[in-house]
Chain A
Amino acid sequence: MENLILYKMTWEEFEANIRDVLEIEDGVVLNRDEILEDTEFWSSMHALLVMAMAESEYNVSITGEDLRKSSTLGNIYELLKSKIG
């Protein structure tokens, strides 16, 4: 996917990608402000999947420090958008 396209990535696109990569069922509501560690679907291994998605799909590198500072999906969305931009 080209960076130009991703620059305009919407929350809806991001959510769809996250659901796909983390294999989150459709019935599970994703709240962008919910603390990830409080959710059923998040673990340290899922964090690696998000890193892999950023690198292979968007050609963007997310560091461990970036993710440690991101406690919600909204944080990761904003992080990804800023890196793409």
Chain B
Amino acid sequence: MSFFSIPNISIDGVCGVVPKNILNNKDYDYINEKERQFLIKTTGIARKRHVDKGVTALDLGERAAKELIEKIGWRKDEVDLLVLVTQSRDYYLPSSAIILQHNIGLSRDCMAFDIGLGCSGYVYGLSIVGKFLQTGQFKKAILVAGDVSSVSTNYEDKSTYPLFGDGVSATALSYSKGAPEMFFDIQNDGTNHEAIIIRDGGAKNLFDEDSTVVKNYGEGINRSKKDLELNGLDVFSFSIKEPPQNIKNILEKTSTPIESIDYFVFHQANRLIIETIRKKLKIPAEKVPYSLTDYGNTSSASIPITICDQLKTEASNKKMLLCGFGVGLSWGSCILDTKNILCLDPIEY
């Protein structure tokens, strides 16, 4: 069953943290000027942020969660659940969420675990946290989502390096009896798991000497097996086909007229993908906010960063459709009615 609803959830606040270091794609000198201009125009990604060496998703997530908890006025000891969606964990083990629980200063009674998802991860994360909260046994939860993708993109791979930026978000959710239902439609396709992959470093292919050897895989694409590999054609084909159908399905299953949605917040993969989806579904441009121009593809943080950076106070009292899609392959949509969401401006780390 890919379609389900979750009642009694309030989204109380959203916050995004990005590194201070700005890398402009106009300065990406691995490709020539003509190609650079074409890349920026087509992807829409003018710049992105990278962490300093040693700074991780856990660090950005700690800052995001602490800021959010303080600004919405929660006590740390009343947070019952911490979920971290990331593919850039600090260690093979233990789970980064447990370290994060300690670093934020949450109670030992706060349940904490990681979810290893990327671009679809925010929608997944909302659904998982929502399920824990819906009965009221858990009252307050923090969902931290994002990645430090710069550690796994090779400068000499034009299919990944210019696209991905680092960023992590925090979202505060609470049990709120009688709150409007949130609706989800979530899907996966493991047959295409190699379309976006880091081949070495997991249990299947242990990290060894060969993992760091850089090889050529086509014009402008040099990488090692420890680097992120992205099959552009297959990922693009998937991205403009499956998410629009998923959106049509969830709108139909919930009898929601497409024009009743105030904002469609898409995972910020690249402008060409989002514009193709938008045109296919005949969504007015003003209902589709973008943050990728300044932050690039920030993985599971891209939807909340877009909400904070572009919608701000406009995010409150709206009907929104969120759609994430990517590595897995994995994709899903969520329809929700917001009340008063505190959206903090993106914070620099």
Which positions in A face B, CB cutoff 8 Å? 43-45, 47-49, 51-52, 55-56, 59, 61-65, 67-68
Interface string of B218-234 (1 = CB under 8 A from A): 10000000000001111
**Is the C-beta of B215 less than 8 angstroms from some C-beta in chain A?**
no
Contact A48 B280 (CB under 8 A): no
Contact B272 A67 (CB under 8 A): no
**Is the C-beta of B236 less than 8 angstroms from some C-beta in chain A?**
yes
Question: What is the bound-complex CA distance between A44 and B159, given in angstroms?
Answer: 9
**Is the C-beta of B42 less than 8 angstroms from some C-beta in chain A?**
yes
Which residues from chain B contact A59 at a C-beta distance below 8 Å? 280
Binding site of A, secondary structure by majority: helix, strand, loop or mixed?
helix
Q: For residue B37, give the distance in angstroms from its CB to the closest CB of chain A.
A: 11
User: Which residue from chain B places its CB closest to the CB of A53 in the assembled complex?
Assistant: B276
User: Which residue from chain B places its CB closest to the CB of A23 in the assembled complex?
Assistant: B38
Q: Which of B200-238 contact A (CB under 8 A)?
A: 218, 231-234, 236-237
Which positions in B face A, CB cutoff 8 Å? 35, 38-39, 42, 159, 218, 231-234, 236-237, 240-241, 272-273, 275-276, 279-280
Contact B272 A64 (CB under 8 A): no
Contact B279 A48 (CB under 8 A): no
Contact B35 A48 (CB under 8 A): no
Q: Give the 5 A-B CB pairs with smallest separation, nearest first.
A: A64-B233, A64-B234, A56-B279, A52-B276, A55-B240
Contact B233 A56 (CB under 8 A): no
Question: What is the bound-complex CA distance between A2 and B275, given in angstroms?
Answer: 20
**Can you name 28 A-B pairs with beta carbons within 8 Å?**
A43-B35, A43-B38, A44-B218, A44-B233, A45-B38, A47-B232, A47-B233, A48-B42, A48-B232, A48-B236, A51-B233, A51-B237, A52-B236, A52-B240, A52-B272, A52-B273, A55-B241, A56-B275, A56-B279, A56-B280, A61-B237, A61-B240, A61-B241, A63-B233, A63-B234, A64-B234, A65-B234, A67-B233
Q: For residue A17, give the distance in angstroms from its CB to the closest CB of chain B.
A: 15
User: Which residue from chain B places its CB closest to the CB of A37 in the assembled complex?
Assistant: B219
Question: What is the bound-complex CA distance between A45 and B240, given in angstroms?
Answer: 15
Which residues from chain A contact B234 at a C-beta distance below 8 Å? 63-65
Residue in contact with A56 in the complex, picked from B159, B232, B276, CB distance below 8 Å: B276
User: Which residue from chain B places its CB closest to the CB of A59 in the assembled complex?
Assistant: B280
Known A64-B236, A67-B233; contact A49-B272, beta-carbon cutoff 8 A: yes
Question: What is the bound-complex CA distance between A44 and B231, given in angstroms?
Answer: 11
Residue of A44, A47, A48 contacting most chain B CB atoms (<10 Å): A48
Known A43-B35, A48-B232, A56-B276; contact A62-B42, beta-carbon cutoff 8 A: no
Which residues from chain A contact B240 at a C-beta distance below 8 Å? 51-52, 55-56, 61
Which residues from chain B contact A48 at a C-beta distance below 8 Å? 42, 232-233, 236, 272
Which residues from chain A contact B275 at a C-beta distance below 8 Å? 52, 56
Residue of B39, B236, B279 contacting most chain A CB atoms (<10 Å): B236
Contact B280 A63 (CB under 8 A): no
Question: What is the bound-complex CA distance between A70 and B233, given in angstroms?
Answer: 13
Contact A55 B159 (CB under 8 A): no
Known A43-B35, A45-B39, A61-B241; contact A51-B236, beta-carbon cutoff 8 A: yes
* New A-B pairs, 16, CB < 8 Å, besides A52-B272, A56-B279: A43-B35, A44-B232, A44-B233, A47-B232, A47-B233, A48-B232, A48-B236, A52-B236, A52-B276, A55-B240, A55-B241, A55-B280, A56-B280, A63-B237, A64-B233, A64-B234
